[in-house]
Amino acid sequence: MPSSNNKHHLEDYAPIVTSGVIREIEELARLLGPVRIVHVNSTKEGGGVAEILGWFIPIIEELGMKVDWEVITGEKDFFTITKKFHNALHGQPEEFTEEMFAAYLDNVGKNAPKIPEDADFVVIHDPQPAAMIGEYPDRKNRWAWRCHIDLSEADLRVWGFLRPFVERYDGAVFHLPQYTKNLMAPQFIVPPAIDPLAPKNEKLSEEEVSSTLHKLGVANDKRIILQVARFDRLKGPFGAIEAFRLVRRWYDCCLILAGGSATDDPESQAVLAEVQDMAGDDPDIHILNLPPDSHREINALQRAATVVVQNSRREGFGLTVTEAMWKAKPVVGTDIGGIRHQIIHGVSGFLTHSVEGLAYRIRQLFGNPGMAKRFGQQAREYVRNNLLVPHHIRRWLLVFHSLRQSGNGDLITLPPHEITE
Protein backbone atom coordinates (compact mmCIF):
# COMPACT_ATOMS: atom_id res chain seq x y z
CA MET A 1 0.00 0.00 0.00
CA PRO A 2 1.50 3.34 -0.90
CA SER A 3 2.07 5.66 2.03
CA SER A 4 -0.13 8.47 0.80
CA ASN A 5 -3.44 7.34 2.23
CA ASN A 6 -3.51 10.71 3.95
CA LYS A 7 -4.10 12.88 0.97
CA HIS A 8 -2.41 16.25 1.14
CA HIS A 9 -2.82 19.32 -0.96
CA LEU A 10 -0.09 21.08 -2.84
CA GLU A 11 -0.52 24.16 -0.62
CA ASP A 12 0.35 22.03 2.43
CA TYR A 13 3.93 21.86 1.16
CA ALA A 14 4.30 25.64 0.83
CA PRO A 15 5.67 26.17 4.35
CA ILE A 16 8.23 23.39 3.83
CA VAL A 17 9.87 24.13 0.49
CA THR A 18 11.54 27.25 -0.86
CA SER A 19 8.96 29.84 -1.80
CA GLY A 20 8.13 30.01 -5.46
CA VAL A 21 8.17 26.28 -6.19
CA ILE A 22 4.44 25.88 -5.61
CA ARG A 23 3.61 28.86 -7.84
CA GLU A 24 5.77 27.45 -10.65
CA ILE A 25 3.98 24.13 -10.39
CA GLU A 26 0.57 25.75 -10.64
CA GLU A 27 1.64 27.74 -13.67
CA LEU A 28 3.14 24.74 -15.43
CA ALA A 29 -0.01 22.71 -14.73
CA ARG A 30 -2.25 25.47 -16.00
CA LEU A 31 -0.30 25.61 -19.25
CA LEU A 32 -0.45 21.85 -19.63
CA GLY A 33 -4.22 21.77 -19.20
CA PRO A 34 -6.45 18.85 -18.19
CA VAL A 35 -4.36 16.12 -19.81
CA ARG A 36 -4.78 12.39 -19.13
CA ILE A 37 -1.72 10.48 -17.91
CA VAL A 38 -1.40 6.70 -17.57
CA HIS A 39 1.33 5.15 -15.42
CA VAL A 40 2.21 1.47 -15.79
CA ASN A 41 4.50 -0.39 -13.40
CA SER A 42 4.66 -3.89 -11.97
CA THR A 43 3.50 -3.58 -8.37
CA LYS A 44 1.30 -1.39 -6.21
CA GLU A 45 3.12 -2.49 -3.07
CA GLY A 46 6.72 -2.44 -2.02
CA GLY A 47 9.72 -0.58 -3.32
CA GLY A 48 10.38 2.96 -4.35
CA VAL A 49 8.23 3.12 -7.52
CA ALA A 50 5.00 2.29 -5.70
CA GLU A 51 6.05 4.62 -2.91
CA ILE A 52 6.39 7.58 -5.27
CA LEU A 53 3.29 6.93 -7.37
CA GLY A 54 1.29 6.77 -4.13
CA TRP A 55 1.70 10.50 -3.50
CA PHE A 56 2.44 11.68 -7.04
CA ILE A 57 -0.91 10.71 -8.49
CA PRO A 58 -3.25 12.50 -6.03
CA ILE A 59 -1.35 15.76 -6.40
CA ILE A 60 -1.28 15.61 -10.19
CA GLU A 61 -5.03 14.98 -10.04
CA GLU A 62 -5.48 17.95 -7.77
CA LEU A 63 -3.73 20.03 -10.42
CA GLY A 64 -6.56 19.15 -12.81
CA MET A 65 -5.10 16.21 -14.70
CA LYS A 66 -6.57 12.73 -14.93
CA VAL A 67 -4.29 9.88 -13.92
CA ASP A 68 -4.63 6.11 -14.19
CA TRP A 69 -2.25 3.67 -12.51
CA GLU A 70 -2.09 0.29 -14.24
CA VAL A 71 -0.07 -2.73 -13.16
CA ILE A 72 1.30 -5.32 -15.54
CA THR A 73 0.44 -8.81 -14.34
CA GLY A 74 2.13 -12.14 -14.88
CA GLU A 75 2.89 -15.53 -13.41
CA LYS A 76 5.84 -16.07 -11.08
CA ASP A 77 8.01 -17.11 -14.06
CA PHE A 78 7.53 -13.72 -15.67
CA PHE A 79 8.68 -11.91 -12.53
CA THR A 80 11.61 -14.31 -12.17
CA ILE A 81 12.72 -13.26 -15.66
CA THR A 82 12.13 -9.57 -15.02
CA LYS A 83 14.01 -9.78 -11.72
CA LYS A 84 16.94 -11.20 -13.71
CA PHE A 85 16.57 -8.29 -16.12
CA HIS A 86 16.62 -5.94 -13.15
CA ASN A 87 19.77 -7.51 -11.69
CA ALA A 88 21.52 -7.63 -15.07
CA LEU A 89 20.67 -4.01 -15.83
CA HIS A 90 22.25 -3.16 -12.49
CA GLY A 91 25.37 -4.95 -13.78
CA GLN A 92 24.98 -8.27 -11.92
CA PRO A 93 25.92 -11.44 -13.84
CA GLU A 94 22.82 -13.43 -14.85
CA GLU A 95 22.21 -16.30 -17.28
CA PHE A 96 19.66 -15.82 -20.06
CA THR A 97 18.17 -18.03 -22.73
CA GLU A 98 16.28 -17.10 -25.89
CA GLU A 99 13.22 -18.70 -24.36
CA MET A 100 13.32 -16.21 -21.50
CA PHE A 101 13.25 -13.24 -23.84
CA ALA A 102 10.42 -14.86 -25.82
CA ALA A 103 8.45 -15.61 -22.62
CA TYR A 104 8.92 -12.02 -21.49
CA LEU A 105 7.57 -10.63 -24.77
CA ASP A 106 4.74 -13.12 -24.78
CA ASN A 107 3.60 -12.06 -21.31
CA VAL A 108 3.96 -8.36 -22.02
CA GLY A 109 1.88 -8.84 -25.16
CA LYS A 110 -0.82 -10.87 -23.40
CA ASN A 111 -1.05 -8.89 -20.18
CA ALA A 112 -0.21 -5.40 -21.21
CA PRO A 113 -2.91 -3.19 -19.73
CA LYS A 114 -5.01 -1.53 -22.37
CA ILE A 115 -3.95 2.07 -22.68
CA PRO A 116 -6.96 4.33 -23.30
CA GLU A 117 -6.80 6.06 -26.66
CA ASP A 118 -7.46 9.44 -25.13
CA ALA A 119 -4.41 9.24 -22.85
CA ASP A 120 -2.12 12.16 -23.63
CA PHE A 121 0.92 10.76 -21.85
CA VAL A 122 1.90 7.19 -20.99
CA VAL A 123 4.66 6.62 -18.45
CA ILE A 124 6.07 3.11 -18.38
CA HIS A 125 8.21 2.27 -15.37
CA ASP A 126 11.25 0.03 -15.51
CA PRO A 127 11.92 -3.08 -17.62
CA GLN A 128 8.89 -5.15 -16.65
CA PRO A 129 6.41 -3.39 -18.96
CA ALA A 130 9.05 -1.66 -21.17
CA ALA A 131 8.22 -3.67 -24.30
CA MET A 132 4.55 -2.67 -24.10
CA ILE A 133 5.22 0.12 -26.54
CA GLY A 134 5.60 -2.56 -29.22
CA GLU A 135 1.87 -3.29 -28.81
CA TYR A 136 0.98 0.28 -29.86
CA PRO A 137 2.52 0.87 -33.29
CA ASP A 138 -0.09 3.51 -34.24
CA ARG A 139 -0.14 5.41 -31.00
CA LYS A 140 -0.87 9.12 -31.14
CA ASN A 141 0.06 9.94 -27.55
CA ARG A 142 3.46 10.65 -26.02
CA TRP A 143 5.22 7.82 -24.19
CA ALA A 144 8.02 8.11 -21.64
CA TRP A 145 10.10 5.25 -20.28
CA ARG A 146 10.81 5.95 -16.62
CA CYS A 147 13.92 4.08 -15.55
CA HIS A 148 14.56 3.65 -11.83
CA ILE A 149 17.72 1.62 -12.35
CA ASP A 150 21.39 2.54 -12.46
CA LEU A 151 22.14 1.54 -16.08
CA SER A 152 25.76 2.64 -16.04
CA GLU A 153 27.04 -0.95 -15.97
CA ALA A 154 24.05 -2.60 -17.63
CA ASP A 155 24.54 -6.10 -19.03
CA LEU A 156 24.84 -5.69 -22.79
CA ARG A 157 22.63 -8.59 -23.70
CA VAL A 158 19.61 -7.38 -21.73
CA TRP A 159 20.18 -3.74 -22.57
CA GLY A 160 20.66 -4.70 -26.22
CA PHE A 161 17.31 -6.47 -26.09
CA LEU A 162 15.45 -3.60 -24.38
CA ARG A 163 17.10 -0.71 -26.15
CA PRO A 164 15.13 -0.92 -29.43
CA PHE A 165 11.95 -0.70 -27.37
CA VAL A 166 13.26 2.23 -25.34
CA GLU A 167 14.19 4.06 -28.52
CA ARG A 168 10.59 3.97 -29.67
CA TYR A 169 9.58 6.12 -26.73
CA ASP A 170 9.30 9.89 -27.04
CA GLY A 171 11.63 10.25 -24.08
CA ALA A 172 13.47 8.33 -21.40
CA VAL A 173 13.56 9.65 -17.85
CA PHE A 174 16.45 8.79 -15.53
CA HIS A 175 17.22 9.54 -11.90
CA LEU A 176 20.71 10.86 -12.50
CA PRO A 177 22.77 12.15 -15.42
CA GLN A 178 25.25 9.27 -15.08
CA TYR A 179 22.48 6.75 -15.80
CA THR A 180 21.63 8.12 -19.21
CA LYS A 181 22.58 6.11 -22.31
CA ASN A 182 23.52 6.90 -25.83
CA LEU A 183 19.95 6.80 -27.15
CA MET A 184 17.97 7.98 -30.13
CA ALA A 185 15.22 9.17 -27.79
CA PRO A 186 15.48 12.44 -25.80
CA GLN A 187 16.50 11.95 -22.19
CA PHE A 188 15.41 13.76 -19.03
CA ILE A 189 16.68 13.78 -15.47
CA VAL A 190 14.15 13.54 -12.67
CA PRO A 191 15.50 12.35 -9.32
CA PRO A 192 12.94 10.75 -7.02
CA ALA A 193 11.60 12.48 -3.94
CA ILE A 194 9.83 11.79 -0.68
CA ASP A 195 6.60 13.04 0.79
CA PRO A 196 7.38 14.86 4.06
CA LEU A 197 3.70 14.74 5.07
CA ALA A 198 3.14 11.04 4.51
CA PRO A 199 2.96 8.58 7.44
CA LYS A 200 6.45 7.42 6.42
CA ASN A 201 7.97 10.85 7.03
CA GLU A 202 5.67 13.00 9.12
CA LYS A 203 6.70 14.14 12.59
CA LEU A 204 6.14 11.57 15.34
CA SER A 205 6.03 12.10 19.06
CA GLU A 206 8.77 10.56 21.19
CA GLU A 207 6.07 8.44 22.85
CA GLU A 208 5.04 6.98 19.52
CA VAL A 209 8.65 6.24 18.60
CA SER A 210 9.22 4.45 21.93
CA SER A 211 5.98 2.52 21.84
CA THR A 212 6.64 1.43 18.24
CA LEU A 213 10.08 0.12 19.19
CA HIS A 214 8.53 -1.72 22.12
CA LYS A 215 5.86 -3.21 19.84
CA LEU A 216 8.57 -4.38 17.43
CA GLY A 217 10.53 -6.01 20.24
CA VAL A 218 13.47 -3.59 20.19
CA ALA A 219 14.68 -2.36 23.60
CA ASN A 220 15.48 1.35 23.34
CA ASP A 221 18.47 1.18 25.68
CA LYS A 222 21.48 1.30 23.37
CA ARG A 223 22.71 2.93 20.19
CA ILE A 224 20.82 1.77 17.13
CA ILE A 225 22.27 1.07 13.68
CA LEU A 226 19.42 0.80 11.18
CA GLN A 227 19.13 -0.35 7.60
CA VAL A 228 15.72 -0.25 5.94
CA ALA A 229 15.61 -2.24 2.71
CA ARG A 230 13.77 -5.00 0.94
CA PHE A 231 15.43 -8.36 1.57
CA ASP A 232 17.51 -8.34 -1.56
CA ARG A 233 21.19 -9.27 -2.00
CA LEU A 234 21.85 -5.97 -3.78
CA LYS A 235 20.91 -4.14 -0.58
CA GLY A 236 23.96 -5.65 1.18
CA PRO A 237 22.30 -7.03 4.34
CA PHE A 238 25.13 -9.49 5.01
CA GLY A 239 27.79 -6.78 4.97
CA ALA A 240 25.65 -4.69 7.32
CA ILE A 241 25.72 -7.56 9.84
CA GLU A 242 29.50 -7.94 9.46
CA ALA A 243 30.01 -4.20 10.02
CA PHE A 244 27.75 -4.29 13.08
CA ARG A 245 29.84 -7.09 14.55
CA LEU A 246 32.97 -5.00 14.11
CA VAL A 247 31.39 -1.92 15.69
CA ARG A 248 30.10 -3.88 18.65
CA ARG A 249 33.64 -4.60 19.77
CA TRP A 250 33.83 -0.90 20.64
CA TYR A 251 30.31 0.24 21.42
CA ASP A 252 27.27 -1.34 22.99
CA CYS A 253 24.77 -1.17 20.17
CA CYS A 254 22.18 -3.10 18.22
CA LEU A 255 21.44 -3.57 14.52
CA ILE A 256 17.99 -3.42 13.00
CA LEU A 257 17.47 -4.73 9.49
CA ALA A 258 13.93 -3.71 8.64
CA GLY A 259 12.49 -4.84 5.38
CA GLY A 260 9.79 -6.65 3.57
CA SER A 261 9.30 -7.89 0.09
CA ALA A 262 7.84 -6.44 -3.07
CA THR A 263 5.24 -8.51 -4.90
CA ASP A 264 7.44 -8.42 -8.03
CA ASP A 265 10.46 -9.94 -6.25
CA PRO A 266 10.37 -13.75 -5.99
CA GLU A 267 13.82 -13.95 -4.31
CA SER A 268 13.10 -12.07 -1.12
CA GLN A 269 11.98 -15.01 1.03
CA ALA A 270 15.21 -16.89 0.34
CA VAL A 271 17.32 -13.82 1.11
CA LEU A 272 15.39 -13.22 4.33
CA ALA A 273 16.07 -16.81 5.41
CA GLU A 274 19.80 -16.39 4.73
CA VAL A 275 19.91 -13.13 6.65
CA GLN A 276 18.13 -14.75 9.61
CA ASP A 277 20.59 -17.59 9.44
CA MET A 278 23.57 -15.25 9.54
CA ALA A 279 22.08 -13.30 12.47
CA GLY A 280 21.58 -16.55 14.39
CA ASP A 281 20.20 -16.02 17.89
CA ASP A 282 22.10 -12.79 18.51
CA PRO A 283 19.72 -10.73 20.70
CA ASP A 284 21.21 -7.48 19.38
CA ILE A 285 20.33 -8.16 15.75
CA HIS A 286 16.69 -7.51 14.96
CA ILE A 287 15.48 -8.77 11.62
CA LEU A 288 12.08 -7.21 11.08
CA ASN A 289 10.05 -8.57 8.20
CA LEU A 290 7.41 -5.88 8.01
CA PRO A 291 4.13 -5.85 6.06
CA PRO A 292 4.02 -3.38 3.17
CA ASP A 293 1.89 -0.84 5.03
CA SER A 294 4.36 -0.38 7.92
CA HIS A 295 5.01 3.25 7.09
CA ARG A 296 4.69 4.65 10.61
CA GLU A 297 6.82 1.80 11.94
CA ILE A 298 9.61 2.57 9.48
CA ASN A 299 9.27 6.25 10.30
CA ALA A 300 9.66 5.46 14.03
CA LEU A 301 12.66 3.21 13.42
CA GLN A 302 14.37 5.89 11.34
CA ARG A 303 13.75 8.46 14.07
CA ALA A 304 15.03 6.12 16.78
CA ALA A 305 18.25 5.26 14.93
CA THR A 306 21.58 6.69 16.03
CA VAL A 307 23.12 6.02 12.61
CA VAL A 308 21.35 4.85 9.45
CA VAL A 309 23.28 2.70 7.00
CA GLN A 310 22.62 1.78 3.38
CA ASN A 311 25.12 -0.88 2.42
CA SER A 312 23.74 -1.48 -1.08
CA ARG A 313 25.84 -3.04 -3.86
CA ARG A 314 23.73 -1.27 -6.48
CA GLU A 315 21.13 1.41 -5.92
CA GLY A 316 18.97 3.16 -8.49
CA PHE A 317 18.46 5.99 -6.04
CA GLY A 318 17.87 4.84 -2.47
CA LEU A 319 14.79 6.56 -1.11
CA THR A 320 15.55 5.09 2.30
CA VAL A 321 18.61 7.35 2.37
CA THR A 322 16.47 10.40 1.58
CA GLU A 323 13.96 9.38 4.26
CA ALA A 324 16.65 9.07 6.91
CA MET A 325 18.28 12.35 5.86
CA TRP A 326 14.93 14.10 6.15
CA LYS A 327 14.78 12.85 9.75
CA ALA A 328 18.13 14.57 10.35
CA LYS A 329 20.03 11.30 10.66
CA PRO A 330 23.65 10.88 9.63
CA VAL A 331 23.70 8.19 6.94
CA VAL A 332 26.64 5.98 6.07
CA GLY A 333 26.12 4.51 2.62
CA THR A 334 28.05 2.79 -0.12
CA ASP A 335 29.74 5.14 -2.57
CA ILE A 336 27.53 4.14 -5.49
CA GLY A 337 24.56 5.20 -7.61
CA GLY A 338 21.96 7.38 -6.01
CA ILE A 339 23.56 7.12 -2.56
CA ARG A 340 26.62 8.96 -3.81
CA HIS A 341 24.33 11.59 -5.29
CA GLN A 342 22.60 12.25 -1.97
CA ILE A 343 25.23 12.08 0.76
CA ILE A 344 27.91 14.74 0.70
CA HIS A 345 30.87 12.87 2.14
CA GLY A 346 32.08 14.43 5.35
CA VAL A 347 29.32 17.04 5.30
CA SER A 348 26.00 15.25 5.64
CA GLY A 349 27.14 11.64 6.04
CA PHE A 350 29.84 9.26 4.88
CA LEU A 351 30.37 7.23 1.71
CA THR A 352 32.13 3.90 2.10
CA HIS A 353 33.82 1.21 -0.01
CA SER A 354 34.05 -1.79 2.32
CA VAL A 355 32.57 -3.45 5.37
CA GLU A 356 35.55 -2.22 7.40
CA GLY A 357 35.01 1.31 6.12
CA LEU A 358 31.34 1.12 7.04
CA ALA A 359 32.20 -0.04 10.56
CA TYR A 360 34.86 2.67 10.91
CA ARG A 361 32.45 5.46 9.93
CA ILE A 362 29.70 4.21 12.24
CA ARG A 363 32.23 4.23 15.10
CA GLN A 364 33.31 7.72 14.16
CA LEU A 365 29.71 8.96 14.40
CA PHE A 366 29.08 7.08 17.64
CA GLY A 367 32.16 8.72 19.11
CA ASN A 368 31.27 12.25 17.90
CA PRO A 369 27.65 13.05 18.72
CA GLY A 370 28.23 16.70 17.76
CA MET A 371 29.38 15.66 14.29
CA ALA A 372 26.45 13.25 13.96
CA LYS A 373 24.02 16.03 14.83
CA ARG A 374 25.62 18.49 12.41
CA PHE A 375 25.60 15.93 9.58
CA GLY A 376 21.94 15.22 10.27
CA GLN A 377 20.95 18.86 10.09
CA GLN A 378 22.83 19.33 6.84
CA ALA A 379 21.25 16.21 5.42
CA ARG A 380 17.78 17.52 6.22
CA GLU A 381 18.45 20.84 4.50
CA TYR A 382 19.70 19.06 1.38
CA VAL A 383 16.46 17.10 1.17
CA ARG A 384 14.38 20.19 1.90
CA ASN A 385 15.93 21.98 -1.07
CA ASN A 386 16.01 19.15 -3.58
CA LEU A 387 14.13 15.96 -2.88
CA LEU A 388 10.60 16.68 -1.71
CA VAL A 389 7.26 16.19 -3.45
CA PRO A 390 7.07 19.68 -5.04
CA HIS A 391 10.53 19.39 -6.63
CA HIS A 392 9.55 16.12 -8.23
CA ILE A 393 6.18 17.36 -9.49
CA ARG A 394 7.77 20.45 -11.01
CA ARG A 395 10.36 18.37 -12.85
CA TRP A 396 7.72 15.98 -14.23
CA LEU A 397 5.55 18.83 -15.45
CA LEU A 398 8.55 20.14 -17.35
CA VAL A 399 9.05 16.69 -18.88
CA PHE A 400 5.42 16.57 -20.00
CA HIS A 401 5.80 20.01 -21.57
CA SER A 402 8.94 18.89 -23.41
CA LEU A 403 7.30 15.68 -24.58
CA ARG A 404 4.36 17.56 -25.91
CA GLN A 405 6.65 20.01 -27.70
CA SER A 406 8.64 17.15 -29.20
CA GLY A 407 5.91 16.07 -31.62
CA ASN A 408 3.43 17.81 -33.87
CA GLY A 409 1.04 18.63 -31.08
CA ASP A 410 -0.02 22.05 -29.85
CA LEU A 411 2.87 24.27 -29.00
CA ILE A 412 2.70 25.69 -25.53
CA THR A 413 4.49 28.67 -24.08
CA LEU A 414 6.59 28.17 -20.99
CA PRO A 415 6.18 30.71 -18.18
CA PRO A 416 8.29 33.81 -18.75
CA HIS A 417 10.35 33.49 -15.59
CA GLU A 418 13.31 31.15 -15.45
CA ILE A 419 12.70 27.76 -13.90
CA THR A 420 15.38 27.41 -11.28
CA GLU A 421 16.49 24.19 -9.63
Positions in the binding site for ligand UDP (CB under 6 A): 47-48, 51, 200, 228-230, 259-260, 290, 298, 317-320, 323
Residues 265 and 230: their CA atoms lie apart, in Å, by 9
Question: Which residue, 27 or 94, has its beta carbon nearer to ligand UDP?
Answer: 94
Write out the DSSP string of 82-145: HHHHHHHHTT------HHHHHHHHHHHHHHPPPPPTT-SEEEEESSTTGGGGGG-TT--SEEEE
Q: Please count the residues of the chain.
A: 421
Q: How far is the CB of 250 from ligand UDP (least distance, A)?
A: 28
Question: Which residue, 38 or 331, has its beta carbon nearer to ligand UDP?
Answer: 331
Question: Which residue, 88 or 185, has its beta carbon nearer to ligand UDP?
Answer: 88
Give me the numbers of helices (H) and strands (E) for the chain, helices first please: 14, 12
Q: How far is the CB of 175 from ligand UDP (least distance, A)?
A: 9
Residues 46 and 357: their CA atoms lie apart, in Å, by 30
For the packed helices 319-326 and 295-304, what is the interaxial angle rounded to 10 degrees? 60
CB-nearest residue to ligand UDP = 48
Question: Which residue, 41 or 107, has its beta carbon nearer to ligand UDP?
Answer: 41
Question: Which residue, 17 or 256, has its beta carbon nearer to ligand UDP?
Answer: 256
Q: How far is the CB of 28 from ligand UDP (least distance, A)?
A: 26
Question: Which residue, 54 or 170, has its beta carbon nearer to ligand UDP?
Answer: 54
Q: How far is the CB of 319 from ligand UDP (least distance, A)?
A: 4
Cβ pair 246, 356 in contact under 8 A: yes
Q: Under 8 Å CB-to-CB from 257, ≥6 apart: which residues?
A: 227, 229, 237, 240, 241, 275, 279, 285, 286, 287, 288
Q: How far is the CB of 241 from ligand UDP (least distance, A)?
A: 17
Q: How far is the CB of 318 from ligand UDP (least distance, A)?
A: 5
Terminal Cα distance for the chain, rounded: 31
